[in-house]
């Protein structure tokens, strides 16, 4: 499963990315009965607006107006609803995996297809009966033709009522899904349980991380962001996907991992060498190898978390780093223009050589941000529109 879509360009595997606001913008899906009531009421008002002194002509115009209005109203409502729902084929691979896990892609396509069919069918019924009515000269058959059209239209709507109800339930489910914006750099945060992934995302994020339901596991997905030189970087915690053995993952989880292979620009792997989280070093190293195998096209950055518990780091070095980090945060909060001139502390574990961070104390965060930016910039494909170095520029 991890080879799914391998060979495709990274972060170019699909056109449109979904955001949570896109799902939340979908209106409530009305039931078949509610749509029929709306259409028939509008048809009744349309008939009441017809004026003609001749009773036969007036009745015929009214019946034509009613069947056409009912068909057009329902057709427009169904067609617009279908068009407002995102196209699965234009979603990112990760979003497709989320929809598959949450509501099922086949049901998603079937229900939207059924509503699209119903929209065309009710309009066809309205046009057919309007054509029939234009040839009538007796009033009783006109009413009979209108009732026949209403009956056929109602039958079509009753056939798709289950699909409409499914879409309304699916809308409520999809509104709670997390989202990854495909046009922004994405950092996949991995590591064993309780190594401090969520705490790190909270500490490194510019604002409060988004927490959304995650259909692959019973846990929740944390998505944080930080900005560097006006560019946004996303950090995604993936509980249950990249923190447990292969045999415990189901096919949908493997599909999501395959999608992450093309979504993530960088995999940030947290090691807890203190084993305070309950996972041995050996087990964490095995998981690191498995993550590297699962995401072969994604650059890997390994850091040591819970640095405040690592005894190999000299206390004076840790205190100095903590003081500099606090000065950086104070300058940022004060809007100090000289903030960029302040030194950024870098603390590494002498035993592993890894950069160390502490999400609880907020130490190592600024250096980690720079490491992420530099790593992603280094791995990014060259800009084909950029000019070669030392290219002559003529002053105008």
Q: pLDDT value at position 19?
A: 52
Rounded to an integer, what distance in angstroms lies between the CA atom of residue 25 and that of residue 175? 9
Provide the CATH number for the domain around residue 250. Answer: 3.40.50.300
Provide the CATH number for the domain around residue 127. Answer: 1.20.120.1190
Q: pLDDT value at position 206?
A: 78
Rounded to an integer, what distance in angstroms lies between the CA atom of residue 384 and that of residue 187? 24
Average pLDDT of the residues in 117-126: 96
List pLDDT tens digits, range 273-311.
888 888 889 988 988 898 888 888 889 999 988 887 887
Rounded to an integer, what distance in angstroms lies between the CA atom of residue 289 and that of residue 346? 26
Task: Verify that 168 and 146 share a domain, yes or no.
Answer: yes
Rounded to an integer, what distance in angstroms lies between the CA atom of residue 131 and that of residue 273? 79
Q: Is 24 among the domain residues?
A: yes
Q: Is 355 among the domain residues?
A: yes
Count of structural domains, the chain: 2
Looking at residue 340, the DSSP 8-state letter turns out to be: G
> Is 85 a residue whose pLDDT tops 50?
yes
**Confidence bin at 383 (pLDDT 50/70/90):** low
Give this prediction's pTM.
0.71
Which of 20, 10, 22, 2 is CA-nearest to residue 214?
20
Task: Verify that 117 and 228 share a domain, yes or no.
Answer: no
Q: Is 194 among the domain residues?
A: yes
Q: pLDDT value at position 259?
A: 62
Task: Verify that 169 and 270 share a domain, yes or no.
Answer: no
> Is 352 a residue whose pLDDT tops 80?
yes
Sign of CA dihedral 292, 295, 299, 301: negative
* Pairwise pLDDT comparison (260 vs 60), residue with the higher score: 60
Q: Is 94 among the domain residues?
A: yes
Task: Verify that 151 and 245 share a domain, yes or no.
Answer: no
For residue 250 the two structure tokens come to 């189901």
Task: Verify that 260 and 289 share a domain, yes or no.
Answer: yes
Task: Verify that 42 and 169 share a domain, yes or no.
Answer: yes
Ramachandran angles phi, psi of 394, nearest 5°: -85, 130
What Rg value do the Cα atoms of the chain yield, rounded?
30
Find the helix packing angle between 55-84 and 105-133, rounded to 10°.
170
Average pLDDT for the chain:
82
**Confidence bin at 7 (pLDDT 50/70/90):** very low
**Confidence bin at 6 (pLDDT 50/70/90):** very low
Task: Verify that 57 and 142 share a domain, yes or no.
Answer: yes
Task: Verify that 368 and 349 share a domain, yes or no.
Answer: yes
Domain with 267 in it? 185-379
Residue ending a domain, choose from 128, 151, 174: 174
**Tokens 């259909």, residue located:** 215
**Confidence bin at 379 (pLDDT 50/70/90):** low
Q: pLDDT value at position 241?
A: 67
With pLDDT > 70 as the criterion, what percentage of the chain qualifies? Answer: 81
Q: Is 147 among the domain residues?
A: yes
Q: pLDDT value at position 387?
A: 53
Average pLDDT of the residues in 199-213: 76
Reduced to 3 states (helix: H, G, I; strand: E, B; else coil), residue 11 is coil
Task: Verify that 73 and 118 share a domain, yes or no.
Answer: yes
Q: Is 153 among the domain residues?
A: yes
Q: Is 292 among the domain residues?
A: yes
Q: Is 389 among the domain residues?
A: no
Task: Verify that 119 and 218 share a domain, yes or no.
Answer: no
> Is 240 a residue whose pLDDT tops 70?
no
Task: Verify that 290 and 190 share a domain, yes or no.
Answer: yes
Task: Verify that 358 and 213 share a domain, yes or no.
Answer: yes
């Amino acid at each position: 499963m991890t080879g799914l879509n391998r060979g495709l360009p990274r972060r170019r595997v699909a056109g449109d990315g979904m955001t949570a606001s896109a799902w939340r913008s979908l209106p409530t899906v009305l039931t078949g009965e509610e749509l029929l009531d709306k259409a028939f009421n509008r048809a009744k008002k349309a008939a009441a607006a017809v004026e003609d002194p001749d009773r036969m002509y007036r009745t015929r115009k009214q019946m034509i107006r009613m069947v056409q209005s009912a068909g057009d109203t329902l057709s427009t409502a169904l067609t617009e609803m279908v068009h407002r729902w995102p196209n699965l084929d234009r979603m990112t691979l990760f979003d497709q995996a989320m929809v598959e896990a949450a509501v099922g892609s086949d049901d998603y396509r079937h229900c939207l297809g059924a509503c699209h069919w119903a929209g065309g069918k009710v309009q066809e019924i309205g046009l057919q009966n309007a054509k029939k009515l234009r040839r009538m000269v007796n009033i009783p058959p006109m009413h009979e033709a209108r009732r026949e059209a209403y009956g056929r239209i109602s039958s079509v709507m009753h056939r798709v009522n289950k699909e409409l109800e499914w879409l309304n339930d699916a809308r409520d489910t999809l509104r709670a899904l997390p989202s990854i914006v495909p046009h922004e750099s994405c950092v996949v945060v991995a590591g064993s349980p309780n190594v401090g992934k969520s705490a790190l995302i909270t500490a490194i994020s510019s604002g409060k991380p988004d927490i959304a339901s995650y259909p692959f596991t019973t846990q929740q997905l944390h998505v944080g962001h930080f900005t560097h030189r006006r560019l946004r970087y996303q950090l995604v915690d993936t509980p249950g996907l990249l923190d447990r053995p292969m045999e415990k993952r189901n096919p949908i989880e493997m599909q999501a991992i395959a999608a992450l292979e093309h979504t993530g620009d960088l995999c940030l792997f947290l090691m807890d060498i203190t084993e305070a989280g309950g996972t041995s070093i050996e087990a964490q190293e095995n998981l690191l190898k498995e993550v590297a195998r699962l995401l072969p096209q994604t650059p890997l950055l390994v850091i040591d978390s819970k640095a405040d518990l690592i005894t190999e780091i000299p206390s004076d070095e840790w205190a100095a780093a903590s003081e500099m980090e606090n000065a950086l945060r104070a300058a940022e909060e004060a809007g100090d223009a000289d903030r960029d001139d302040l030194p950024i502390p870098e603390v590494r574990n002498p035993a592993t050589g890894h950069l160390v961070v502490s999400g609880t104390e907020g130490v190592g965060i600024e250096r980690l941000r720079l490491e992420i930016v530099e790593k992603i910039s280094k791995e990014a494909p060259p800009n084909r529109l950029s000019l070669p170095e030392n290219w002559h520029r003529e002053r105008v």
